[in-house]
Structure 1
């Protein structure tokens, strides 16, 4: 049973005829999203904390959310019109006395649940029916970076073996201590983190209830961690603290390995992690919730260029092909860009109670050997990611197909522009999306987070300092005035490093990105924001000249 924090999330326990299934929910879900998930799953039990911890924010109380589900929490009985299947609410009191729970008679304290198990320790706890390796053990909601979350059904076989092979490729041993800031309600924490370390006898370190860059770095120093996990935005926040001198650059000598996953990792960031945090054996994992989650992974011994420019090779017992985005039946030659499709033990059974969306991404291929009459059944998962594969089997992800920007018939890959802009010393983070345009269909928009202390000129939404635009953009001439960044500097950098058609038509300054609670940037929300900012600035549907 899992408690509720940013790592642990909200947990539902849907009782089916065979045992039960754990369903971790993103704690950033609001009440309509939680209600929708519980109703969709016909969940009987809900485990939730009195508070939810989220990064960079005070704890959020959950009693108001619960009252949206069960209006009368004091009656002693769980009655919910919105979720009729709900029978029990198990409450984890993690508020340190900030929230009073005595009157919430409709809930069961988590402590009573644990004590109940303790008192029945002599009685064997067995499932109603024998468990099978292919039974569903976890319904994992997808992150929702490109659409609404979907409930992927994963099996004992898929998540146990995926964790084992991840740890094997990292070279984990019982002497390793892995620092794992990613959340346990996400596959990153639960499988790459817990399952990989558990199957290799390694220790796992959770530095804080919600992501905290300072707590992460200090826990590495204090516990002599040998590995560090994270997504790009987490690593950026940690490097920022070191760059500002808020954390001493010491105590990282034991670090050797780790995992960067969850989203594309720019090559410039990889190089900084090698240099600043001694993560010379940092590995890259690629996958998706629907593949339990990892399909491809680098190794600490891969050539450095493969570790910064690819997501490695397929894990054991996983197959892949690259197919045309226009014709799924056309398998492309090595080196050509297309959609990555994977098959193996790690592919989900289906989306829960959603055959239409399952059929969109999952295809069953059946072959019968004419001589032996043996039938081979293979399930393929269409990832939605554009990729190439070389003759050595290394896979390179070039972007989400949905994120692809089509400008006047030319395909633009956001990652290429992001990698370029990440090379600017003023830029802390950058995310690139396509926004609508009357002439070209779509144009490039760059959302830029600058380092602390950098002054910015006016962006295309009119935000920033007008006076900065009058300063000389040349860095040498700008000395004594502090570092500055203007939209013209951003455009000129891309023009010089790449080419004209990749230059951002729009540049926006932003303090933080819309993200999932696991740290992934939600690009579809950035697109919506870009459209809104342009409309407010009177530039909606602007024709590029």
Structure 2
């Protein structure tokens, strides 16, 4: 990687900023300014200096809209006063007891008051960490604001976590309250679920005892269970027999009046702890503030053009930032409606809700959109095609250009945008606009968000900002940066650092490049880079090529050990429905509907170059994924090693 002039340019930028600060401020004022910068405000003088670093990959987003300086409950109260009669949340439960719940903003305010009152009466206080393990539902939506009003910290857990994972999360956070469904709905399997009786017995012990005395989680004092058994009549969980468990329904008996928290709320308070997806390591508990998630949601809504008339279908889970911030916080800051088609992702339910409600927008990760198209192509389902979709977001992983074009063409999402971010930045730092040229909306993740600075640096020397067009590690700074990983200062220090310019930066581990207009392109994970015989191979380049091959539904590329070259390229291919696979070329009509490993290799050789051709091609039915839908490539590498060892 070329390093010409980078060190000098980087030093010049830092020295200029330092000189300006010394001349303009006293020591005390400088300290105050650093605090302000960390909260997201970028002085115009600094912004001009940053934007004036011609040729370097560093850009600051616009200063408008202004940052909201209050708390989430403050902002929510203003939305309720303006849009109280509008629908805030519309949620459906799965068959056989299909049911639709609607909460207006006024109703959401009242229900969250009742929940907050009841939670306060059982001892929930400001700063307490409350774990919520529920699918997308009106109940989860109301609980979110109830906890925010108390200043308690919402800790959303993946409902599919097993007892060991839930225990680890609760223990790490010293959580005293767990709110969980009687049944966990399963993605792609409507009406099918997992009883949580055994999970709770493992964590709590004797459920018939009147008080909780958990040996595995000593801090746990209360378990509240949402009775969602009506959608799962085959599940055996006799809730009325277990004195240790409290009922969610009893929480609704609280007062309608606004609850005053036991201590004043501060916008800088931690209000949400999100467990990271864990594509390369164990999940970490990122602490996010009112300021971070409130403004991020509002800026997302502004950039994509949301307004109170919008009805946005959001299948991504609320336990992830995609559902909770890009979805719920974006709609709730504008008076729009968020629509949950099912507690867990169901492509058929998603299509039907979008069509039935005349929805104007749809969110999803790439794998969700692929599943939606498969469902539409299944003629026996006779699904209606939504007619009013225009806005939407695809995020969570790279989006192939071919898929973007299909989304535009088949669903009519002409204002579809791409978001980039990470849990630790609350989460979005870059985003396209509906007005951006189509090429930019399909080949980039857009430009920096308001009050956010993004830079591309040398992965081996973070002080060196790279020239435009060079690939390096993306870092973000501003109001959106997490406060740190809960109880883990060592891993916090590895990725979150306050530098000599007084700004706190979050280093992403993602490889990216920036063009002269500030558009950022994500080229992969730095750890995913394949080094073959000394040459750097970017998996995303090969993946985008293979997505164009007829018969390929999904593809993921990873490096596997190779004795001669160090690493070899391996492609993990999911064939399209109706296609068969063979290891040799076929003749006749069957060849048009058959994939072979040679065909995969020839496609890459023809469209790219020979050194990018996969040495190994594996046919797979699915990928190991995180809860947010990101492919865990380290598990693919483990699969490849095992399969190759079995063949040896």
TM-score, normalized by length of structure 1?
A: 0.90
Whether the 8 Å contact between 2:136 and 2:344 is mirrored in structure 1 is: yes
Counterparts in 2 of 1:44-443, with a 5 A limit? Answer: 44-57=176-189, 58-96=192-230, 97=233, 98=235, 99-115=237-253, 117=254, 120-121=255-256, 125-246=259-380, 251-367=385-501, 377-443=502-568
Count, aligned residues: 508
Shift of 1:411: 1.1
Query: Where does structure 2 lack aligned partners over 5 or more consecutive residues?
Result: 1-114, 116-130
Q: Describe the SS at the equivalent of 1:33.
A: helix
Counterparts in 2 of 1:454-469, with a 5 A limit? Answer: 454-458=579-583, 469=584
Shift of 1:250: 5.2
Confirm or deny that 1:496 pairs with 2:599.
Answer: no
Q: Describe the SS at the equivalent of 1:211.
A: coil
CA distance in 2, matches of 1:237, 1:184: 20
* Structure 1 match to 2:572: 447
More displaced, 239-248 or 128-137?
Answer: 239-248
Confirm or deny that 1:471 pairs with 2:553.
Answer: no
Shift of 1:455: 1.1
Higher relative contact order (CA 8 A, sep 6+): 2
Whether the 8 Å contact between 1:12 and 1:38 is mirrored in structure 2 is: no
CA distance in 1, matches of 2:645, 2:331: 49
Q: Deviations over 1:313-351 (max 9, x none)?
A: 011000011110121111111111000010000000000
Residue 19 to residue 243, structure 1, CA distance change in 2 (3 Å): closer
Greater percentage in helix = 2
* Structure 2 match to 1:514: 624
CA distance in 2, matches of 1:233, 1:528: 22
Q: Describe the SS at the equivalent of 2:442.
A: helix
Shift of 1:366: 4.4
Residue 197 to residue 247, structure 1, CA distance change in 2 (3 Å): farther
Shift of 1:433: 1.1
Whether the 8 Å contact between 2:275 and 2:285 is mirrored in structure 1 is: yes
Q: Describe the SS at the equivalent of 1:102.
A: helix
CA distance in 2, matches of 1:480, 1:518: 37
Residue 388 to residue 200, structure 1, CA distance change in 2 (3 Å): same
**2:173 paired residue among 41, 45, 49:** 41
Whether the 8 Å contact between 1:224 and 1:251 is mirrored in structure 2 is: no
Query: Where does structure 1 lack aligned partners over 5 or more consecutive residues?
Result: 368-376, 459-468, 473-477, 539-545
Whether the 8 Å contact between 1:455 and 1:482 is mirrored in structure 2 is: no
CA distance in 2, matches of 1:292, 1:298: 17
**2:642 paired residue among 511, 521, 532:** 532
CA distance in 1, matches of 2:607, 2:575: 19
* Structure 2 match to 1:7: 136
Q: Deviations over 1:193-228 (max 9, x none)?
A: 011111111111111111111111111111111111
Whether the 8 Å contact between 1:6 and 1:209 is mirrored in structure 2 is: yes
Whether the 8 Å contact between 1:6 and 1:517 is mirrored in structure 2 is: no
Whether the 8 Å contact between 1:12 and 1:25 is mirrored in structure 2 is: no
CA distance in 2, matches of 1:253, 1:222: 10
Q: Describe the SS at the equivalent of 1:282.
A: strand
Whether the 8 Å contact between 1:285 and 1:296 is mirrored in structure 2 is: yes
* Structure 2 match to 1:543: none
CA distance in 1, matches of 2:318, 2:380: 28
CA distance in 2, matches of 1:323, 1:215: 43
More displaced, 418-427 or 527-536?
Answer: 527-536
Residue 254 to residue 535, structure 1, CA distance change in 2 (3 Å): same
Confirm or deny that 1:486 pairs with 2:596.
Answer: yes
CA distance in 1, matches of 2:422, 2:175: 24
